[in-house]
């Protein structure tokens, strides 16, 4: 993890980008993104930098990591 990377739990909670679609979080309506996440779907985009996440879906949860910011907290 780089020196300027944000802690994983902070990235998942809030960031400048939507974790469902990767677009800026303060632009447009992200209701469908939040609804999908509420249904236990893993995040697809890093909220800190907007990059696509590497996601692995497991029978008991998921793992996700950003190539720039590092791993997100497990589900």
Residue 5, pLDDT > 50, answer: no
Which residues form the domain of 55?
8-71
- Do 25 and 17 touch, CB atoms closer than 8 A? yes
> Per the domain annotation, does 39 fall within a domain?
yes
Residue 70, pLDDT > 90, answer: yes
> Per the domain annotation, does 2 fall within a domain?
no
> Per the domain annotation, does 3 fall within a domain?
no
> Per the domain annotation, does 17 fall within a domain?
yes
Tokens of 73: 């907290």
pLDDT band at 43, cuts 50/70/90? confident
> Per the domain annotation, does 60 fall within a domain?
yes
> Per the domain annotation, does 54 fall within a domain?
yes
Beta-bridged to residue 17, according to DSSP, are: 24
> Per the domain annotation, does 48 fall within a domain?
yes
Q: What is the pLDDT of residues 8-40, one digit of tens each?
A: 444 445 678 887 788 898 988 888 887 766 666
If one counts the domains in the chain, the total is 1
């Amino acid at each position: 993890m780089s020196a300027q990377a944000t802690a994983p739990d902070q990235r998942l909670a809030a960031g400048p980008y939507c974790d469902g679609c990767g677009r800026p979080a303060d632009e447009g309506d992200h209701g469908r993104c939040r609804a999908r996440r509420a249904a236990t779907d893993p995040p697809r985009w890093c909220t800190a930098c907007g990059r696509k996440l590497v996601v692995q879906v497991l029978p008991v949860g998921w793992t996700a990591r950003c190539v720039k910011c590092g791993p997100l907290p497990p589900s």
